[in-house]
């Protein structure tokens, strides 16, 4: 069965830690980091990379457009 | 499952790219508060312009309000207008350069308060412009004061006990108002609080830009948005509050669609 695997890349210093991507993610991939970025915000990161499907929901809801999404079909 | 073992690093390649920030947004970090719907709407507009390939054909008019610095974030021609006068400025631009796409981007303080006359008359004259209206029910930039669109009972810094109809009157539904005017061609109300709604909003704004080429009248899209700082909530709470309180009063959907 074909499997779809995705990955996101967060522009750490552009992230404002609003958490909207966390609730938008259907597979609970994203969480807020314990570390902070240059502006002092806890930034979003891919905590469970194995279950990401690359659906782009996080990138679509992100007000600052800091998320880049990659997706590949693995047969 | 050995063949499925592909690492995240291997996945991050140009050929697997499905979504990235559009080049039409500049690298400037937006000054908006975390979770603000302005950023999402800016990105949608930029994406639509990129998809339609009209970067050199479009002129935007920025308002006064939170989005006053919009021209710093969009890589297109933009003009700043006096408070509330964006539809009047856009009218002038469109009449001088009728082959260009012209849009205004206004908040509720700009469009529904100080610029009510300009908005209504531009829509009534049927100017061939697109108006994007961000409605968050509050004056976000100046510190969360009551706006004409503030809901009944909604707390703001000038209505700490909630908006009372007997003293402050009723909230105004600008979108319903302009939908009744003969000059408008496409009128819609959308929101940006969930990914599904963001996709719908993108379709509506794209239609509003495409219909402008037909020269049939004003296209008006309201985007119901949140204001985490003005509402004194976290972004997640504000989106939940928006769905529970704003949407029953400002129902989403197309108010006026062109007859087929």
What ipTM does this complex have? 0.93
| Residue B13, pLDDT score | 86
- The answer to whether B135 and B173 are in contact (CB under 8 A) is no
Mean pLDDT of chain B: 93
* Residue among B17, B29, B34 minimizing CB distance to A70: B17
For the stretch B43-83, pLDDT in tens is 999 999 999 999 999 999 999 999 999 999 999 999 999 99
* Count of C-beta atoms within a 10 Å radius of residue A35: 9
**Sequence spans of domains, chain B:** 33-251
For the stretch A2-52, pLDDT in tens is 788 899 999 999 999 999 999 999 999 999 999 999 999 999 999 998 899
Chain B: nearest CA to A16, how far in angstroms?
A: 5
* pLDDT level of residue B5 (50, 70, 90 thresholds): low
Helix, strand, coil distribution of chain A in percent, nearest 5: 20, 35, 40
| Residue B161, pLDDT score | 94
Residues of A near B (CB-CB distance < 8 A)? 3, 5-7, 9, 14, 16-20, 23-24, 41, 46, 49, 54, 56-57, 59-72, 74
d(CA B129, CA B183): 11
For the stretch B87-128, pLDDT in tens is 999 999 999 999 999 999 999 999 999 999 999 999 999 999
For B248, residues 6+ apart whose C-beta sits below 8 A from its C-beta are none
Note whether A23 contacts B236, CB cutoff 8 Å.
yes
Please say if the pLDDT value at position B2 is more than 50.
Answer: no
Please say if the pLDDT value at position B11 is more than 70.
Answer: yes
Q: Which residues of B touch A60 (CB under 8 A)?
A: 19, 195, 198-199
% of chain B residues with pLDDT over 70: 98
Write the class of the CATH domain B33-251. alpha beta
* CA-wise closest residue to B73 among B116, B36, B101, B98: B36
Residues of B near A (CB-CB distance < 8 A)? 3-4, 6, 8, 11-13, 16-22, 25, 29-30, 32-40, 43, 192, 194-195, 198-199, 228, 234-236, 239
| Residue B4, pLDDT score | 53
Note whether B35 contacts A20, CB cutoff 8 Å.
yes
Note whether A63 contacts B18, CB cutoff 8 Å.
no
% of chain B residues with pLDDT over 90: 92
d(CA B187, CA B203): 13
Please say if the pLDDT value at position B1 is more than 50.
Answer: no
- Could you tell me which chain A residue has the CA closest to the CA of B33? A16
Q: Which domains does chain A have, with CATH numbers?
A: 3-74 (3.30.70.20)
Please say if the pLDDT value at position B260 is more than 80.
Answer: no
């Amino acid at each position: 069965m074909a499997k779809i695997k995705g990955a996101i890349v967060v522009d750490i210093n552009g992230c404002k830690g609003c958490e909207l991507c966390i609730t938008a993610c259907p597979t609970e991939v994203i969480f807020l980091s314990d570390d902070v970025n240059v502006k002092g915000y806890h930034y979003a990161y891919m905590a469970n990379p194995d279950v990401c499907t690359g659906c782009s929901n996080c990138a679509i809801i992100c007000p600052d457009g800091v998320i880049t999404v990659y997706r590949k079909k693995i047969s | 499952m050995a063949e499925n073992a592909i690492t995240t690093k291997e996945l991050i390649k140009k050929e697997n790219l499905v979504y990235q920030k559009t080049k039409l947004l500049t690298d400037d970090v937006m000054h908006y508060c975390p979770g603000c719907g302005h950023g999402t709407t800016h990105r949608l507009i930029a994406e639509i312009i990129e998809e339609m390939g009209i970067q050199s054909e479009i002129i935007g008019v920025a308002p006064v309000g939170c989005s006053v610095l919009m021209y710093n974030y969009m890589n297109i021609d933009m003009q700043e207008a006096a408070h509330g006068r964006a539809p009047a400025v856009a009218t002038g631009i469109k009449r001088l350069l009728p082959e260009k796409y012209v849009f205004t981007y206004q908040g509720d303080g700009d469009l529904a308060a100080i610029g009510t006359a300009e908005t209504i008359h531009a829509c009534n004259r049927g100017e061939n412009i697109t108006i994007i209206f961000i409605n968050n029910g509050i004056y976000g930039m100046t510190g969360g004061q009551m706006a004409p669109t503030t809901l009944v009972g909604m707390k703001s810094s000038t209505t700490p006990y909630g908006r009372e109809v007997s003293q402050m009157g009723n909230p105004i539904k600008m979108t319903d108002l302009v939908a009744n005017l003969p000059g408008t061609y496409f009128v819609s109300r959308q929101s940006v609080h969930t990914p599904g709604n963001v996709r719908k909003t993108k379709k509506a704004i794209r239609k509003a830009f495409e219909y402008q080429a037909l020269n049939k009248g004003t296209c008006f899209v309201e985007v119901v948005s949140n204001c985490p700082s003005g509402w004194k909530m976290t972004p997640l709470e504000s989106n939940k509050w928006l769905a529970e309180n704003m949407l029953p009063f400002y129902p989403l959907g197309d108010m006026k669609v062109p007859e087929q």
